[in-house]
Structure 1
Amino acid sequence: MSEPVRRRGRPARTESGDTRTRILEAAREEFAARGYEKASVRGIAKAAGVDSALVHHYFGTKEQVFAASIETAFAPALQAPAVLEEGPLDDIGERLTRFVFGIWENPATRTPLLAIVRSAVNNEAAAAVFRRLIAAQLLGRIARRLDIPDEEAELRVTLAAAQLVGTAVLRYVIKVEPLASADPETVIARIAPVVQGHLTGHARTAGNS
């Protein structure tokens, strides 16, 4: 009895899921090892054991592959309803800071985050993807909770994010001492009040002390 002939076109449903997973895993490794500029769709396809056309079929351009790999790797940072959407606002600065640094301190999530940040710093296309994800998934949740005009809320959460991302870059990417080797609890204790101030504190006006 002859084996059934596989039709050309899109892969079978079960194979599709496995192939997508392999491509995403290969993409994360390529972007982590080579950065956005040097990584290529051809290299990702080779690492995943598929043809380049299949990568384009599932994800489109390299930027879209990068965005998909970010969403998968960055999922823990984008799924924090208990931290961002529950509890009082008067301690959201500490809860958010502790959550973010918890992700950076975990080796399993630190590696993909390093790849993401390094790519975003060096490439505008990667930075644009990073900004879209941060704005839509993380910052938007906090902004919606602040009982202030939208424009001011967006500025406040962006400043809070700048504080957290800037500190993380100095500590984990550039590794500036003594910040790089400081105890995480010490860093959190210093940063959390600043983040809280950005989110809920009263803004100073010129001439006020």
Structure 2
Amino acid sequence: MARRTGRRPGNPDTREAILAAARATFAERGFDAASIRAIAAAAGVDPALVHHYFGTKEELFRATVSIPVDPAELVPGVLAGGRDEVGERLVRTFLAVWDSPVGTAAVALLRSAVSNQWTARLLREFLVTQVLRRVVDQLDLDPAEVPLRGALVATQIAGLAMMRYVIRLEPVATASPDTLAATIGPTIQRYLTGPLDAG
């Protein structure tokens, strides 16, 4: 009997093959440089199957990092209500997600990123392309400053996540979202829209 060649047909293993190929491709190339076509080729499937199982590249990326929340749905709330309170609203939104039941997946990802370079790259790509870029792109900032501003915001958000959810440093671990938004929000606001020079 002749052995069949060609692309893998749709079967229960196809979804996992696509996810494995996507994780490797996103970690190696980053979100922007990865393409559905390259991921499909790595998985040995037709690009149409990738779209069938996961929809868009953004949806596939979220599936690879196991984040059950779509930042595209949350960012409009962060940006609503004026530019000068974005920092506080960003902290409130972050805490609302991470304090909820879906936050356990994010905490697991953060723990893994601390000790695994591959996971760290995926988490970095997720923060930059799916969260921070969506916020800073709407603030009419100097394009030359956007990377630094986004990275500075990430230091605060990642630090808050680590202290509240992993290390559980008190009183941050049990502080109310209102307290944390009021105290950390202004720092994030300065990183987003304040002066970056020392003068």
- Tell me the TM-score normalized by structure 2: 0.68
Q: How far, CA to CA, are the matches of 1:82 and 1:57 in structure 2?
A: 30
Q: Secondary structure, in 3 states, of the residue corresponding to 2:145?
A: helix
Q: Which 5+ residue runs of structure 2 have no aligned equivalent?
A: 1-6, 28-60
Residue among 163, 170, 181 paired with 1:177? 170
From the two aligned structures, give the one with the greater helix fraction. Answer: 1
The structure 1 residue matched to 2:85, chosen from 88, 91, 94, is: 91
Partner of residue 133, structure 2: 140
Which residues of structure 1 form unaligned runs of 5+? Answer: 1-7, 21-54
Whether the 8 Å CA contact 2:113–2:120 is kept in 1: the answer is: yes
Percent identity of equivalent pairs = 31
Deviations along 1:126-172, one digit per CA (max 9) or x if unpaired, are: 11111112111111112212333223122112211211120111011
Matches within 5 A, 1:24-103: 55-56=16-17, 59-60=20-21, 63=24, 69-77=63-71, 79-103=73-97
Residue 74 of structure 1 deviates from its aligned partner by 4.4
CA contact (8 A) 1:146 1:153 kept: no
Number of residue equivalences: 160
8 Å Cα contact 1:93/1:196 also seen in 2? yes
Alignment deviations for residues 72-105 of structure 1 (CA, whole Å, 9 cap, x no partner): 4243345323224544211111111110011111
> Which has the greater radius of gyration?
1
> Residue 158 of structure 2 aligns to which amino acid in structure 1?
V
2:153 is equivalent to residue 160 of structure 1: yes
> Which segments of structure 1 move beyond 6 Å, counting only runs of 4 or more?
none
Residues 59 and 65 (structure 1), Cα distance of their counterparts in 2 relative to 1, 3 Å cut: farther
| Native 8 Å contact 1:119 1:126 kept in 2 | yes
Q: Distance in 1 between matches of 2:181 and 2:151?
A: 18
Q: Could you say what the CA RMSD is over the residues aligned between the two structures, in angstroms?
A: 2.8
Q: Which residue of 1 aligns with 2:40?
A: none
Q: Is the 8 A contact 1:59 1:65 kept in 2?
A: no
Work out the CA distance in 2 between the residues paired with 1:65 and 1:154.
20
C-alpha spacing 1:194/1:62, structure 2 compared with 1 (3 Å) = closer
Alpha carbons 1:59, 1:68 under 8 Å: kept? no
Query: What is the rounded CA distance, in whole Å, between the counterparts of 2:73 and 2:102 in structure 1?
Result: 13
Change (3 A) 1:58 1:172: closer
Question: Given that residues 84 and 141 in structure 1 are in contact (C-alpha distance below 8 angstroms), is that contact kept between their aligned partners in structure 2?
Answer: no
How far the C-alpha of 1:69 sits from its partner, in A, is 3.6
Whole-Å separation in 2 of the counterparts to 1:147 and 1:77: 20
